[in-house]
Amino acid sequence: MIFISNVRNIDGGWRHHLLLIKNMEEALQLFYMPEIHNQLVPIILEFLMAGNTSVRTESCKILAKVMKLQHHMPYREELIQFMK
């Protein structure tokens, strides 16, 4: 999580952000989904709002995967409400 925070704070490092998102997407199923929701979804949403086109596209892909794998219904509903 410290590494993710450090990469997130790099200004103008969209390539680093893109690589981070792609790596997170590959390892997503290894983590406990409520933990992912609490720790990583805010970072992904930040990338979605402030990233360039490539970062936003990858952010949407990982959010769709999080919603698919999320078994905790209140968190899933929260994501669905955010996406509306």
How far, in whole angstroms, is CA 52 from its chain's centroid? 15
Q: 24-72: per-residue pLDDT in tens? A: 888 888 877 887 788 888 888 888 888 889 989 998 999 888 888 888 8
pLDDT at 72: 84
The structure's pTM equals 0.74
Inter-axis angle of helices 41-50 and 53-69, nearest 10: 150
Number of folded domains that form the chain: 1
Under a CB-based contact definition with an 8 Å cutoff, are residues 21 and 55 in contact? yes
pLDDT at 4: 64
Please give the residue range of the domain that contains residue 38. Answer: 2-83
Under a CB-based contact definition with an 8 Å cutoff, are residues 67 and 79 in contact? yes
Under a CB-based contact definition with an 8 Å cutoff, are residues 48 and 84 in contact? no
How far, in whole angstroms, is CA 35 from its chain's centroid? 12
